[in-house]
Structure 1
Amino acid sequence: MGVVLKRLGRLAWLAASGPDRGLMGAWSGLGLFVLILGFEFSGVWLSVQMINWSKVFYDALEQLDAVEALRQIGVFAILIAATAGASLIGTWLTKQLQIAWRQRLTERALNQWLTDGAYWHLRPGLSPDPIDNPDQRIAQDCNLFIEYLLEFSVDMIARSVALVTYLAVLWNLSGFPLSLSFVGIDIIVPRYMIWAAFLYVALSTLITHLLGKPLKNLAFRQERVEADFRHGLVQVRDNADAIALAGGEDAERRRLAARFARLRDNWKQLIGREFILGLYTQPYRYTVLRIPTFLALPAYFGGAVTLGGLMQTASAFSNVTTTLSYFVFYYARIARFVAVSERLDGLFLATAAPRPAPDAPRSLLRVTGGGDRLRLSGLQLFTPSGRALDPVPDCTITAGQRIWIRGASGRGKTTLLSALRGVWPYGTGSITLPDAPLMALPQVPVAFSDGLLATLSYPLDPASYDRAMLDALLRKVGLEARLVTTDGPGTLQGLSMGERQRLALARALLLRPRWLLLDEATSALDPASETRLLALLRRELPQATILCVAHRPPVGLDPDGELAIGPFDERISA
């Protein structure tokens, strides 16, 4: 329980404070939270008035006082209107706070996920603690956590105040004792309605916990399998061309069916356990409102209370027991809350300090201050599993050079570029970087969903460029057929891999980097187009240093040096 409460406290503070807001940033949300509690407390006060109304109304019925009964009906209408109004306003304020705290928690999650390459390092195969379905944790779990947090925190505080209030009312109403005779011994239980309420709820809570204990793990697993199935559907959408060309529809059906089977099996276990829990909680929910009347009957038949007093006492007892029974009524939701908080806290803990692979060296030294030169010395890179890749020859590359990086597949060419960009941490030796930043184009460029122009100018805003200039760049790389008057997500539909690579090269022409890393960035183009576009890069960026990973000579680039990785005799030459 202590671990769960600490986890909830950490996440609640992240939501209340948000990135760089600290204590001062939390005050506005906490003030709104207090206001919400105020409306909850007003609901408690109105409940007490309803308890008192029960006595007056039923006493009027017992005395056949029609005038008073009619007046109490009017009082009832006023109480109901006030209760409904307080509830509606409290709900509206709660939803305002929910979106504010969800935004803050989501911002914090996104900041940690996108800082220091956590999104890159915490992938399966690269981390000993990979994060499954991070998109779901950020999008869905942040929302669910705030929803549950407000629901349970407001309820728990309000119910604690309500419990004290209802107990005080019940204490005053249950002054009559219960007399019992057992094996000749007379037993008198003073204020037995108080003790009956606690005993009744305590026993029910214990039974509920024993029946519902497995729900937390099942709910945690259900979150994961739901996300896995949804991710599988996204993969079909993103790989539609490859699946269609391979005739992979049956394979996708099998893959998705297997994921859905895991979802279904866990769901059946979950609803089975909820059914078993419901066998107890549902009868309890319906009887808890009637049991008080039965328990108070001895006092009524003994003449200790009137009919109105009986109904008032029963109403107070019901309020006490229903308040105490929160754990019974909401056990399944509490289990889901704990599961969501565990998944979300796991994301924050992992992204705060991604744990490196334990079997790979991390003594790679990457320093700045190389001026107009890039120096590699004693460089050897490793896979996360600790397998050594081929050593990288010592070399110095000066500004303006165009270098062809070659070698057989799997020798570490792409890993070298990742290390130059500061992404790859596993290796030994040193990299002295030039003063100018490095821009890299991968073999599989990303087509961002914001549209063609947003992808062209990424990571900058396309609105900061002249539209005519952007269109001219697209024509230069052979994408004139993709020009549109209105840019948006639809402009990226149907882009082939070759067109994506053309778009990435146009992005390099737009951003004009001083150092450019090409990782098989023209592999999807035919030789003639590749030659033309590499020559275009050379002409448009005459001062740029270009390191080009390619399996065939980059003819249009006209390289003036080579860096061979692997069992080759050639090394870098100017």
Structure 2
Amino acid sequence: MAKQKPNRVPATSVAGEVQAGLLAQLGVIADIYWNSPVRNRLILFISGVFGIIILTSVGQVLLNRWNVPFYDALSRRDFQAFLDQLMVFFGIAAVLLVLSVGQTWLNQMTRLKLREGLTRDLIGEWLVPRRAFKLSNSGPIGVNPDQRLHEDARHLAEMSTDLGFGLLQSTILMVSFVGVLWALSSGFVFNVYGYSFSIPGYMVWAAILYASLASWLSWLVGRKLIKYNADRYQKESELRFSLMRVNEHIDAISLYRGEADENRRLGFDVDSLLASIRLLVRALTQLTWVTSGYGWITIVAPILVAAPVYFAGNLSFGGLMMAIGAFNQVHDALKWFVNNFGAIADWRATLLRVTSFRQAVQATDAMNSIEQRIKFAESDRDQIILDSLKITAPRATVRLKEKHAVVKEGDRVLITSEAGIDRTLLFRAIAGLWPWGAGTVTLPANKTIIYMPRLPYFPPGSLREAMSYPLGKDGFTDEQLVGALHELGLKRLETMLDFSARWDRELSDDEQQSLAFARLMLHKPEWVVIDESLDAMESDAYDRVVAVLREHLAKSTIVHIGREDKNDHVFSTVLHFVSDPSGHGLEEEGLLGV
């Protein structure tokens, strides 16, 4: 049977209230890492890379200066000088090789630590109590958080490392070679129609002008890539979510012979993704005209710039090669933006998705700010009090018929409802997951309350871990675990305590519910609130659960939200959950996140 789609809740400002500016987004990321346990390691790695880049720049300057004696030796056909300069080259190249290997290791370690810090922070913020539930019901941003927690976090960490260190290296190289190129340009004397003149820093200005024009054209042509990349990642995540949905419900789909229909639905997601990718391909192709065109022109650009001086006889061949090398280094540094514009657009889109998700997660704490909300309080007395409780559902308002209901310690209370009313809303309201409505829910202070949802949850792992959850695998002894299994008719599982499996797939529906009550029996909570778990159980399983409630949980206060009692007289009090014709639903009030 397919799982029921969760009710949507008002998005308020969660899905839309995001600081979209680049500086604000960078501030979010900086705050993450400043407060992260990986901060010191990151500072150490980044400092190491900075030092290596400076040393590499010094080596590149020395290598550039090496051009003059090497090419002059070639032009003179001086074989001994040629060999001497080759030895110098191998010495410089060996040092640069060691620096390159060291930088590669530091780059990869920085990637690793960036991803660790970001992923741990996002998961930690997401799993703050009640946040994940609220976010999952707050609109599109909460539908598939796995894409942002996993793929987007990885992509952002890796691209930030590559682009950040690339920009740093380009900046340091530019600073290093601007001085070299400026000094070379001071000797450039132009002769035009008998007049001689020089332009201070001629090749520096030529490199700046050339790279600036390329950067401007790249931005003009490629700026739409930011939006196209963001759209593409959204479509990718929607397709992944649809595939996961089909996989989770493949048994029901097969029974209904619905494969063709699901194929059609998935086809819509694939078509949407492909349309997004086509826009991206078109934009990247247009950008390639600029980047590749400038790439080819760059081969001859420095020669064309220095050619007038060289042919005038004011520059040797070695000096020409040194000037070309320095021009290329400065130009390469300046056109970092051109070379990486596609990656920058991709990085900006990913940064937006990650920071939007994190801010949306944090904004769920403010989702209770609408005027009509249920108040939650604690009581020093051992009792649950429901005062004038109304719940605003997506399309209606429902309420507890009894205006002042008190559940005292040791009571066994059944809350039933009219047909067509979603009783799970009441369960969520008592648990504090659904604050939209009116009235007051008062819970006993400093008391253990276990809330049992309609569909029990078992974490992946051993049966021992599933029964002890959330205490950990050492929460109970083997004797206690086996005893609970026997009481709930699960004797066949007693030899599987250390067997790991997906228990929601290994066990039947009745066995899953029985296992959930076995876990409840072990924990022996003082208060239990149950959402319809007893209603669909077969008679044998139901009888065993009732026996556990009467014998092993005799001191526990039980509130069951479900159907009428099966004449077992388990519940001494019955409350009623009814519709409220005078109320309005969240959709009518314009508060429903879609």
TM-score (norm 1): 0.91
Q: What corresponds to 2:590 in structure 1?
A: none
Go from structure 1 to structure 2 and tell me whether the alpha carbon gap of 1:244 and 1:500 turns closer, same or farther (over 3 Å shift). farther
Q: Which residue of 1 aligns with 2:157?
A: 146
3-state secondary structure, aligned to 1:444: coil
Q: What's the CA shift string for 1:122-174, capped at 9, x where partnerless? A: 22xx4367434211111122222222222222222332222111100101112
Q: Select the residue among 68, 71, 75 that pairs with 2:84.
A: 71
Alignment equivalent of 1:455, drawn from 463, 466, 469: 466
Correspondence list, 1:509-548, <5 A: 509-548=521-560
Native 8 Å contact 2:53 2:169 kept in 1:
yes
Give, in whole Å, the separation in 1 of the partners of 2:104 and 2:490: 52
Cα drift, residue 255 of structure 1: 1.9
C-alpha displacement at 1:410, in angstroms?
Answer: 4.4
User: Which fold has the larger relative contact order, with Cα–Cα distance below 8 Å and residues 6 or more apart in sequence?
Assistant: 2
Which of residues 309, 331, 336 is equivalent to 2:346? Answer: 336
Residue of structure 2 in register with 1:376 after alignment: 386
Q: Residue 359 of structure 1 contacts residue 384 of structure 1 at CA under 8 Å; is this kept in 2?
A: no
- Equivalent residues in 2 for 1:274-285, closer than 5 Å: 274-285=284-295
1:563 matched residue in structure 2: 575
Any idea what SS the aligned residue of 1:304 has?
A: coil
1:45 to 2:58 alignment: yes
Residue 503 of structure 1: aligned partner:
515
1:34-83 deviation per Cα after TM superposition (whole angstroms, max 9, x unaligned): 11111111111111111112222111101111122123223222322322
In structure 2, the residue matched to 1:388 is 397
Q: Deviations over 1:248-284 (max 9, x none)?
A: 2112212222111111111121122111111221232
Shift of 1:181: 5.6
Residue 292 of structure 1, aligned match among 298, 302, 305? 302
* Partner in structure 1 of residue 489 of structure 2: 478
Long gaps (5+) in structure 1: 569-574
Higher mean displacement: 558-567 or 323-332: 558-567
Q: Residue 157 of structure 1 is aligned with which of 168, 172, 176?
A: 168
Q: Which residue of 1 aligns with 2:274?
A: 264
SS of match in other structure, 1:389: strand
SS at match of 1:390: strand
Q: 2:71 aligns with which of 44, 47, 58?
A: 58
CA contact (8 A) 2:20 2:352 kept: no
Higher mean C-alpha displacement, 353-362 vs 242-251: 353-362
Unaligned runs of 5+ in 2: 1-18, 581-594
Structure 1 ranges of 4+ moved more than 4 A = 184-188, 355-361, 554-557
**CA separation of 1:541/1:105 partners in 2, compared to 1, >3 Å: closer, same or farther?**
same
Query: Counterpart of 2:477?
Result: 466
Aligned match of 2:242: 232
Conservation of the 8 A alpha-carbon contact between 1:360 and 1:382: no
Question: 2-side partners of 1:558 and 1:132: how far apart?
Answer: 39
What is the RMSD computed on CA atoms of the aligned residues? 2.6
Q: Is the 8 A contact 2:410 2:555 kept in 1?
A: yes
1:440 paired with 2:447, answer: no
2 CA distance for matches of 1:223 and 1:90? Answer: 31
Cα distance change of structure 1 residues 487 and 337 upon mapping to structure 2, 3 Å threshold: same
Q: CA deviation at 1:480?
A: 3.2
1:487 counterpart residue number: 499
Partners of 1:455 and 1:315 lie apart in 2 by 66
Q: Which amino acid aligns with 1:312?
A: M
Report Cα offsets for 1:299-355 as digits up to 9, x if no partner. Answer: 111111111111010000000000000000000110011111111111121122227
Matches within 5 A, 1:311-460: 311-354=321-364, 361-383=371-393, 387-393=396-402, 394-435=404-445, 436-460=447-471
From 110, 122, 127, the equivalent of 1:97 is: 110
Alpha-carbon distance in structure 2 between the residues aligned to 1:567 and 1:324: 68
Separation (CA, whole Å) in 2 of partners of 1:406 and 1:357: 29
Specify which of 255, 279, 283 is matched with residue 273 of structure 1.
283
Contact persistence 2:449–2:527 (CA under 8 A)? yes
Contact kept in structure 1, 2:222 and 2:283, CA below 8 Å: yes
Farther-moved stretch of structure 1 (479-488 vs 459-468): 479-488
The one-letter amino acid of 2:171's match is S
Could you say if the C-alpha distance between residues 534 and 244 of structure 1 is closer, same or farther in structure 2, counting changes exceeding 3 Å? farther
Range with greater deviation from structure 2 (131-140 or 409-418):
409-418
How far apart, in 1, do the equivalents of 2:369 and 2:255 lie?
39
Aligned mates of 1:270, 1:526 — CA distance in 2: 55
Instruction: Give the secondary-structure state (helix, strand or coil) at the position aligned to 1:521.
Output: coil
Structure 2 residue aligned with 1:310: 320
Cα separation, partners in 2 of 1:285 and 1:87, compared to 1, 3 Å = same
- Return closer, same or farther for 1:557/1:481 CA change in 2, 3 Å cut-off: farther
The reply on whether 1:211 has 2:229 as its aligned counterpart is: no
Counterpart Cα distance in 1 of 2:421 and 2:366: 22
> Any idea what SS the aligned residue of 1:404 has?
strand
Q: Choose the corresponding residue for 2:183, options 172, 179, 185.
A: 172
Contact 1:534 1:557 in 2 (8 A): no
Distance 1:130 1:227 in 2: 11
Whether the aligned pair in 1 keeps the contact of 2:464 and 2:497 (CA below 8 Å) is no
Letter in 2 for 1:529: A
Cα 1:13–1:370 change in 2 (3 A) is: closer
Partners of 1:404 and 1:391 in 2: CA distance: 12
| Letter of the 1:416 counterpart | L
**Retained in 1: the 8 A contact 2:464–2:498?**
no
Identity within the alignment, %? 26
2:582 is the alignment partner of 1:551: no
Secondary structure at 2:376 match in 1: strand
CA 1:244–1:534 in structure 2 vs 1: closer, same or farther (change >3 Å)?
A: farther
What's the secondary structure of 2:399's corresponding residue? coil
Paired with 1:227 and 1:69, the residues of 2 have a C-alpha distance of 59
For 2:96 and 2:569, locate their aligned partners in 1 and report how far apart those are by CA, in whole Å: 76
Match of 2:35? Answer: 17
- Whether the 8 Å contact between 1:361 and 1:426 is mirrored in structure 2 is no
| Secondary structure at 1:220 match in 2 | helix
Cα separation, 2, equivalents of 1:66 and 1:408: 101
Aligned residue-pair number: 559
Q: How far apart in 2 are the matches of 1:256 and 1:471?
A: 45
Native 8 Å contact 1:55 1:311 kept in 2: yes
- Give the conservation status (yes or no) of the 8 Å contact 1:376–1:395: yes
Deviation at 1:412, TM superposition (A): 4.9
Of 229, 232, 237, the residue aligned with 1:222 is 232
SS in 2 for 1:473: helix
Query: Is the partner of 2:441 in helix, strand or coil?
Result: strand
**Mean Cα displacement is larger for which, 337-346 or 531-540?**
531-540
Structure 1 Cα separation of the partners of residues 479 and 85 of structure 2: 76
Cα distance in 2 between the residues matched to 1:87 and 1:17: 31
CA separation of 1:121/1:278 partners in 2, compared to 1, >3 Å: closer, same or farther?
A: same
